[in-house]
Structure 1
C-alpha cells in the first residue's frame, strides 16, 4: 500500500496565508452586506438625500465628519459617541465643536436597525454617507469597502491630533503619514474643502498682525484678503461669520484648486499646498484637470477609509452610545 508523504511545511504555511487573505477579504469588502442587509446602501442614500433637501449644508458636514472620525483612532465611529459624566468624548473636543449633522447618521441607523437589526455598523454608515454626499454634489462615485466595526473609546483630548488650519506642508505630511497616507492623499483629500465652510476664528490670524513684517499673510491675494476682512471685521467677533472655502460651495468640483492658484485659499494650510514646491505641481494638475482630481480623490477616500479599521469591535445599536 502506498504511503502518502506529509506535506512540506512551506506548503502548509502557504495554505494558511491564503486562508488568511481570504478571510481578510471576506470581512472588509464592497459586498459585505449583500446577504445580511442588501438594502443598506439604498437606505443610507435615501436618508442623506432627504436630509440634504432640508439642509444644503449636510454634504459638507458629513464629509468632514468622515475625515475627523478616521483621523482619530481610525474609522471606528468614535466621533459619534456622546460624552458621559466620566468622559469627555471626541465630538466635544475643540476641533469638533463645529461638526454637525449627527442626526443624519442617527436617522440612517434607526432605519437600518428596523430593516436588519444589529448588522450595519455606524462606522460603515459614515463611510457610505461620505461617498454619497460627494456623488450627490457632482463628484465621483466609488465602491466603499465595508465591514468596519464600531469602537468603544472616544476621548476629546485626542482631537489635538487633527491637522490644524494653520499647518504648513511639512506638518500636514507628518500628520497624514501617521495614518499611512502620503503626499498624493494629502493634496487630493484637501479637495474635500470644495464643499466646506469656515468660521472666522480659523483664518482671521492671516488677516491682521500676521507677522513682524506683514500685516496680512503675503500668500493671500490682496483683493481676497480684503473680502475676508469684510466678512470678519473684528477679531473674535460674530461667531457665526465666516467664508465658504470654495466659490461653488454646493458643487463638488476642482474650483478649490483654481482658487489656490489664484492665492484665494481660506486656510493657511490650504494655501500652503500651492506655496510649497512638493505639492504645488499637484495643485496645478488638479486645477487643470478635474477628471484627474476625481480619480485621485476617490482612490484616496478608499485609503482613508482603511485607516484603523476594526474587525473585532461591535455593531452599536445606537451610534451615540456603546452597547
Structure 2
C-alpha cells in the first residue's frame, strides 16, 4: 500500500510539474520575480532571521493541501495558519507586501502560492546559499482549515514518524535529511526545547543524544520554568549562513532541535548525513547545496494547483 501511495503521488506531482515552468510570468508580468526579490531583500536587511522564516513558510504551506498558499488565509479561528503544527510560522507580511506591489504592476496575474515559492528561493540566495530558478504557474487554493494541518512534521516526532510523513508527500529519506538542512539558518524558541531538555521520553531528564558539551549551554539559555520565548540558533555556530554546518552539528550531537537529532537514529538517514563528509572524496562526493536545491524544487511541486484549478487571489490573506 505504501509503495502504491508513493507511485500515485509521484505521478500526480509529475503531472503538476509539467504544467509549471521557468519564466511562467515572462510575458504577463515580466518584473514579477524581481519585485518579489526586492521585497524579500528589504525584509532581510531589516531582520536577518526573515530568511529562515520565509523558508519555513514555504515548507509549511506545501505540507498542507500542497503548495497553494492555503497557510496565508486569515478567515477566523479555523484558518489553517492557526494550527498547532504551524506555531511560530511567520513571514505573512512579507508575502502580503510583495503581492500588493505586484497587484499595482500586473493585477490578478501572480499567485500568492508562487510568491511564497519565489520568496523561499530568494531567501536561500540572500543567506549566502545557492541561486537558482524555480518553476512557477501555481494557482491559489480555495480551502484553508485548521483540521487539515494535524499531520505536520513535529519537533517531537520519531524518525519513523518523520519518514512516514515525508513519504506521504512523495518525499524520500534523502529529501528529509536535506530539507531538515534548511535549519542551517534561523532560530527556534525555548518553547520547543522544554521537553527535550527536562522531560524527554522515556525516563524523563534530557535527551541522551545531546552532546554533553552542548547540554549545559542549552539549559542555560532555556532554564526550566524560564521564558519560553527566548530564541536560540538552530545551527549552533553558523546560524546566518546557508551551508552544510547544520549536518555536521547533527552528526556530532550538537543538533538543537529534537527532530534534527533524530536523523542519527536511523541507518539510512545517518548514512546520508555521513555521505556529505567523506574525507576520502571531498571534491567528487555529493554537494549539499546542489542536493538541497533538488529537494527544495521537489517539495515545491507537492499538490500544486495549475490551469483551471484554484484562483489568483487579489489579496493573499483572503479568498476572492
- Normalising by structure 2, report the TM-score: 0.89
Q: 1:313 corresponds to which residue? A: 310
Q: CA deviation at 1:285?
A: 2.2
Distance in 2 between residues matched to 1:88 and 1:230, nearest whole Å: 37
Assess if the C-alpha contact under 8 Å between 2:191 and 2:229 holds in 1: no
Q: 2:298 corresponds to which residue? A: 303
Distance in 1 between residues matched to 2:167 and 2:152, nearest whole Å: 13
Q: 1:64 corresponds to which residue? A: 56
> Stretches of 4+ moved more than 4 A in 1?
23-26, 211-214, 287-291
Q: 1:282 corresponds to which residue? A: 272
Distance in 2 between residues matched to 1:101 and 1:216, nearest whole Å: 32
Distance in 1 between residues matched to 2:17 and 2:290, nearest whole Å: 23
- Point out where structure 2 has 5 or more consecutive residues left out of the alignment: 1-14
Give the 3-state SS of the residue equivalent to 1:243 in structure 2.
Answer: strand
Q: 1:35 corresponds to which residue? A: 27
Distance in 1 between residues matched to 2:168 and 2:286, nearest whole Å: 28
Structure 1 residues 65 and 261: CA distance shift in structure 2, 3 A: same
1:122 lines up with 2:119 in the alignment: no
More displaced, 62-71 or 267-276?
267-276
User: Relative contact order (alpha carbons < 8 A, sep ≥ 6): 1 or 2 greater?
Assistant: 2
Corresponding residue to 1:242 among 204, 209, 231: 231
Distance in 1 between residues matched to 2:168 and 2:302, nearest whole Å: 10
Q: Number of paired residues? A: 298
Give the 3-state SS of the residue equivalent to 2:198 in structure 1.
Answer: coil
**Offset from partner CA, 1:90-110 (integer Å, 9 cap, x none):** 111122231122111111001
- Point out where structure 1 has 5 or more consecutive residues left out of the alignment: 1-22
CA RMSD of aligned residues (A): 1.8
Q: Which has the larger radius of gyration?
A: 1
